[in-house]
Homo-oligomer: A and B are copies of this chain.
Amino acid sequence: MSSTTPPLTRASVVEAHERIKPYIHLTPTLTNTTLSDLASTPQSKDALRGTPWEGQEPAKPRIKLFFKCENFQRIGAFKVRGAFHAVGRLSEGERAKGVVTHSSGNHAQALALAAKTFSIPAHIIMPTISTPSKIAGTRSQGAHIHFSGSTSEEREAVVQKVIRETGATFVPPYDHPNIILGQGTLALELQEQTERLIEGDKRLSVEVGKGGLDAVIAPCGGGGMLSGVATALSGTGIKVFGAEPSFEGADDAKRGVEAGKRIERVKTLTIADGLRTPLGELTWSVISDKEKVHNLYSVTEKNIKDAMRLVLERMKCFVEPSAVVGLATILYNEDFRRLVEKEGGEEGWNIGVAFSGGNTTVEAISKIFAAPEERAERAEGVVGKDGERVAENVAG
């Protein structure tokens, strides 16, 4: 992308927000009494059986939840924020030559939409083995599809070829300042919407604690959203946490931070298919900074399924599994719950929860919930949201 990129500061996120506002939805921040009550109820000792917390007294955190619903965002996910910011910051000359990326998911669709909006070409590199529905979906956004093999080397070769031939600018899915700053804009909205909701409660004489958020938790795959949220909230006093699936080593960010070294390769088929990617260099630098991301937590496939059922059946929000990993942490990770009990005390914590998106299908949900627990843990029944085979994921 353009060689002049803004620094990773809250001010840059505010600037990014001004730039992309006309193109994105102001998604709602919702509350839900049932879920806040559940989060504030100690888990049963039975629930802790067979976990690292077995035999301990369950934590008693007091929690009020504020859900930022990016499943209602354009293309059904937060990814349009980064894409519109990246395209919006290109010079006229750069823009004319178009943009290119490799992705078979939400980022490809988001970039295609941004390119269409600016009337410039979008080149999307997709593996030949992608499902026809996904190819058709991206093509219907007006993007040019280029096919590649499934390895990162084959993919990269096609990207370079497109750049040579067209002069298009590469827009990576997460590891770039413009993407990170774009994704971070959701945290500005979440912060302001939460304050307004609490202000409204005060007017209705509903008993409220503090006037704003104490913490925000965001899912972490490649780390674009989490880095953006951490950048946006840096210096506000609001603590930022990351959440990952633990299945088959998908908690690469957590393990990397614990070991003090980025994990560059991940091979997992967690049902949270948006979180199968390792961190990039830039997102690692933000997420491993304790001043920016307070801590990382992981949850099981069962935790994710249980949280997803609650969001679907109680909140009536249609979300993808990746979206609920933060909520699953709040509900079921005793380490996190202990922290809130300790730091929140009597007054408790107002926690913002970023729902990343809602791009899944009725069939994918049926499969996830039809799989018996052990099988879900082995994930054989849930190979990608559309049956696509997932090769080893490499940061990029």
Contact = CB atoms under 8 A, between A and B. Distances in A.
Interface of A: 28, 30, 71-72, 76, 309, 312-319, 358, 360-363, 365-366, 369-370
Given A71-B316, A316-B71, A370 B361 contact: no
B313 A316 contact: no
A309 B362 CA distance: 7
A138 to B, nearest CB: 16
Nearest to A313: B361
A76 B319 CA distance: 17
A105 to B, nearest CB: 15
Given A72-B316, A366-B366, 8 more contacts: A30-B72, A312-B362, A313-B318, A313-B360, A316-B358, A317-B318, A363-B369, A366-B370
A312 B319 CA distance: 9
Contact of A365 (B30, B76, B316, B365): B365
Question: Which of A28, A362, A369 has the most chain B CB atoms inside 10 A of its CB?
Answer: A362
B358 A369 contact: no
Contacts of A358: 316
Contacts of A315: 318
B363 A76 contact: no
A365 to B, nearest CB: 6
A307 to B, nearest CB: 13
A358 B34 CA distance: 15
Contacts of A316: 71-72, 76, 317-319, 358
B317 A362 contact: no
Nearest to A370: B366
A222 B338 CA distance: 49
Nearest to A311: B318
6 contacts: A72-B316, A76-B316, A312-B318, A313-B360, A316-B317, A362-B365
Contacts of A361: 313
A172 to B, nearest CB: 26
B313 A362 contact: yes
Question: Which of A72, A315, A316 has the most chain B CB atoms inside 10 A of its CB?
Answer: A316
A366 to B, nearest CB: 4
Contacts of A369: 362-363, 366
A318 B316 CA distance: 4
A197 to B, nearest CB: 13
A65 to B, nearest CB: 15
Contacts of A360: 313
Contacts of A318: 312-313, 315-318
Contacts of A72: 30, 316
A76 B32 CA distance: 11
A366 B318 CA distance: 14
Contacts of A312: 318, 362
A390 to B, nearest CB: 21
A254 to B, nearest CB: 28
Nearest to A360: B313
A305 to B, nearest CB: 9
Contact of A317 (B309, B314, B317, B366): B317
A119 to B, nearest CB: 19
A383 to B, nearest CB: 18
A369 B370 CA distance: 13
A356 to B, nearest CB: 12
Query: 4 smallest A-B Cβ distances: which pairs?
Result: A316-B358, A366-B366, A316-B318, A71-B316
A369 B30 CA distance: 29
Contacts of A363: 369
